[in-house]
């Protein structure tokens, strides 16, 4: 991207795309029927809403940055480019959507080489648009957001996601629940990783961790956390959280202790 102004314009356009697709998703939820659900795998659900939303996003993004490639959940366009790639989850929280639980979001990120430079997460039900660009701070509906100031785990609320098809690590998750129930204000499972990350960024929760996620689940939210002053790593404390299928995000103050607890659990 040649200038910050160009990136800022792209960010505004991406927000509008996410909001428009969010309106489509909200409308479809009003008369959605469970018989329209398909199974990509065990407990891996998808509907025509996911697929149509992704088509809408890809078509719109192709117009505003034609040279960019795509990493998409539903495979609408999986042609990647050398420099720029959009990373898209058209409906993060599909199971919530199917069951009528009001926590699901549209997630769109733009990567330049291996770095996320733009992120938008539109939480459909609360009409909250979280967004950030590299070096520009993080916002929700035009209001700047920042992570909480909670100093330690004992003052923290933690979110996670549970295994729903790969149960090899279920004992580790159960042990994590035991540990964090005793050492924090509690644990929440909202069902949308993109939303979880934005809640860390907005200071509503102090930490989030999950294993077996995909790039499109976390790319946008991870940047929003970082631009809100938070910390994001993989379970080893490294930087492989976009494609490494594991992520820890926090308000930064608790990151060291939070990471140590997770590493102990995962050993």
Q: What is the pLDDT of residues 225-248, one digit of tens each?
A: 999 999 999 999 999 999 999 999
Binding site membership: which residues? Answer: 73, 89, 91-92, 217
- Contact present, 70 and 93 (Cβ < 8 Å): no
The dotted CATH code for 153-266 is: 3.40.190.80
The DSSP element (H or E) to which 59 belongs, if any, is helix 48-64
The DSSP element (H or E) to which 19 belongs, if any, is helix 4-29
Question: What's the confidence (pLDDT) of residue 48?
Answer: 86
Superfamily for the 4-144 domain: Fructose-1,6-Bisphosphatase, subunit A, domain 1 (3.30.540.10)
**Model pTM score:** 0.95
Q: Residue 184, CB half-sphere, CA atoms under 13 Å: how many? A: 25
Q: If you search the block for the tokens 């039900």, which residue do you land on? A: 125
Q: What is the pLDDT of residues 114-163, one digit of tens each?
A: 999 999 999 999 999 999 999 999 999 999 999 999 999 999 999 999 87
Mean pLDDT in the chain?
93
Quickly state the pLDDT bin for 76 (edges 50, 70, 90).
confident
Q: What is the pLDDT of residues 29-65, one digit of tens each?
A: 998 877 777 766 554 556 789 899 999 999 999 999 9
3-state secondary structure of 84: strand
Residue spans per domain, the chain: 4-144, 153-266
Q: Which of 57-61, 175-179, 195-199, 248-252 has the lowest mean pLDDT?
A: 175-179
Residue 182 has pLDDT above 50, yes or no: yes
Above pLDDT 70, what percent of the chain?
95
Which CB contacts under 8 angstroms, 24+ apart, belong to 19-22? 19/122, 19/129, 20/56, 20/60, 21/53, 21/56, 21/57, 21/90, 21/106, 21/122, 22/105, 22/106, 22/122, 22/124, 22/127
Binding site membership for Mg(2+): which residues? Answer: 73, 89, 91-92, 217
- Contact present, 71 and 215 (Cβ < 8 Å): yes
């Amino acid at each position: 991207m040649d200038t910050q102004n160009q990136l800022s314009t792209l960010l505004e356009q991406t927000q509008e795309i996410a909001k428009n697709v969010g309106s489509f998703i909200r409308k479809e939820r009003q008369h959605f029927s469970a018989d329209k659900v398909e199974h990509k795998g065990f407990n891996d659900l998808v509907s025509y809403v996911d697929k149509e939303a992704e088509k809408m996003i890809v078509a719109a993004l192709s117009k505003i940055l034609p040279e960019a490639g795509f990493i998409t959940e539903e495979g609408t366009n999986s042609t990647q480019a050398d420099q720029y790639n959009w990373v898209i989850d058209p409906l993060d929280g599909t199971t919530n959507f199917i069951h009528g639980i009001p926590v699901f979001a549209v997630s769109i990120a733009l990567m330049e080489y291996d770095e996320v430079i733009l992120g938008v997460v539109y939480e459909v039900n609360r009409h909250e648009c979280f967004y950030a660009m590299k070096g520009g701070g993080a916002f929700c509906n035009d209001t700047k957001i920042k992570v909480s100031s909670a100093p330690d785990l004992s003052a923290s609320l933690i979110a996670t996601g549970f295994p729903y098809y790969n149960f090899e690590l279920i004992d580790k998750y159960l042990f994590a629940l035991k540990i964090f129930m005793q050492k924090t204000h509690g644990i929440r499972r909202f069902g949308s990783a993109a939303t979880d990350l934005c809640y860390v960024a907005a200071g509503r929760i102090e930490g989030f961790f999950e294993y077996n996620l995909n790039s499109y689940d976390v790319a946008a939210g991870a940047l929003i956390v970082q631009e809100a002053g938070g910390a994001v790593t993989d379970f080893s404390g490294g930087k492989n959280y976009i494609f490494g299928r594991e992520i820890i995000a926090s308000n930064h103050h608790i990151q060291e202790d939070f990471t140590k607890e997770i590493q102990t659990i995962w050993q």
